[in-house]
Structure 1
Amino acid sequence: MSEAAAVRVLGLAGSLRQGSYNRALLRAAQGMTPPGMALEAFDLIDVPLYNGDVEAQGDPPGVKALKEAIAAADAVLFVTPEYNHGVPGVMKNAVDWASRPPRSAPLGAKPVGIIGASPGATGSARGQSQLRQAFEFTNSYCMPQPEILVFRAHEKFDPEGRLTDEPTAKYLRAYLEAFMAWTVRLRSPTPTR
């Protein structure tokens, strides 16, 4: 991540497909960050399924890299699809690994945001809701508003995965500005009385 950025954000797309709308949404976000924010994408392809027996032997390389990237970031942006009315296994698996070990996990006390895209009419609302519940357990500070629910995503991206819908781009810019402010506010020391 850029050393010059005031706020360093790690972006995780919850789909492994190269042509996924959520990967495209993350790329779009990377191209419209506000001044002072750097957004780096981390690919979850090398993060194996969570297994306590594997964890007991030490984190696999992909998990170690994920945890280090989260720890180095000021905040994490989760870009999630919705599969069968819920958060996809890829995204939940990343959260499960990053929630370990308890009380010293990299997601603990970390500002997080959730956005998502779907060809459906609800724009990943159920998947985002389930992910938000997981962050209650990880003690992550999930930004409550605004929300980005990109519905009918196939109409908002071109065949090369570029965001072409200007209202969606406008909402995404506003979201990123709010997420930067959220992160800065949570990172700032609490004033004494």
Structure 2
Amino acid sequence: MTRIALLVGSLRKDSQTLKLAKALTKLAPESMEFDFVEIGDLPFFNEDLDTDTPPASWTRFRNEIKAADGVLFVTPEYNRSLPAAIKNALDVGSRPYGASVWGGKPAGIVTASPSGIGGFGANHHLRQPLVFLDMPAMQQPEAYIGNLWNLFDEEGKIVTEGTEDFLKSWMEAYAAWVKAHI
């Protein structure tokens, strides 16, 4: 079983991005197991807090990422970039210096927005720190999910024609990507 840490960039309890992340886990191959990793409780990274006793949420977060075989980021786009919560999680996991939890973990990125652009800016901004953090990010197929607010019915089922098939094939490609990199 391949264990995937799933980070959702929207912190809102009933976010459409969270619905998308849950839908992705249902469309994934059975060989994948997902752990939704909480990032909303992480204090903003401040090196002064990274002592022998860092915040408990930082320790929990770092241990959950260490235990994963790969990382899946499902995030909205905020102002043509990634949400602060995702960037903060990357920073917390990259420290203390020399003890990054990210190195070598294969990454997948699915971005979404209510517009037709589908989070293109967030997707590409997220790729920049992943290069530095030594996380091989799957290049193809790309996943920009537009018109997010029209994607689900009241029960969280995907209603946009062709989207479910695309997401299922994307998850199959991501599973193969992770397998090739662990």
TM-score (norm 1): 0.89
Q: Secondary structure at the match of 1:9?
A: strand
Q: Is the 8 A contact 1:111 1:182 kept in 2?
A: yes
How far off its partner does 1:127 sit? 0.5
How far off its partner does 1:80 sit? 1.1
How far off its partner does 1:166 sit? 4.1
How far off its partner does 1:33 sit? 1.4
User: Match of 1:180?
Assistant: 175
User: Match of 1:151?
Assistant: 146
Residues 1:105 and 2:100 are matched in the alignment:
yes
Bigger shift: residues 65-74 or 37-46: 37-46
Q: Is the 8 A contact 1:33 1:39 kept in 2?
A: no
**1:27-38 to 2 correspondence within 5 Å?**
27-38=22-33
Q: Is the 8 A contact 1:16 1:45 kept in 2?
A: yes
How far apart are the structure 2 equivalents of 1:144 and 1:48? 31
Equivalent residue letter for 1:128: N
Residues 1:41 and 2:13 are matched in the alignment:
no
Bigger shift: residues 59-68 or 9-18: 59-68
Of residues 80, 85, 89 in structure 2, which corresponds to 1:90?
Answer: 85
Q: Secondary structure at the match of 1:91?
A: helix
How far off its partner does 1:79 sit? 0.6
Of residues 7, 13, 19 in structure 2, which corresponds to 1:12?
Answer: 7
Q: Is the 8 A contact 1:26 1:41 kept in 2?
A: no
RMSD of Structure 2 on Structure 1 (CA): 1.4
Deviations 1:124-183 (A, max 9, x none): 110010000011111111111111111011111224543222411111111111111111
Q: Is the 8 A contact 1:25 1:116 kept in 2?
A: no
Give the total of aligned pairs.
182
Q: Is the 8 A contact 2:81 2:122 kept in 1?
A: yes
User: Match of 2:128?
Assistant: 133
Q: Which runs of 5 or more structure 1 residues have no equivalent in the other structure?
A: 188-193
How far apart are the structure 1 equivalents of 2:163 and 2:14? 19
Q: Which runs of 5 or more structure 2 residues have no equivalent in the other structure?
A: none
User: Match of 2:48?
Assistant: 53
User: Match of 1:190?
Assistant: none
Same amino acid, percent of matched pairs: 36
Equivalent residue letter for 1:53: D
How far apart are the structure 2 equivalents of 1:60 and 1:163? 38
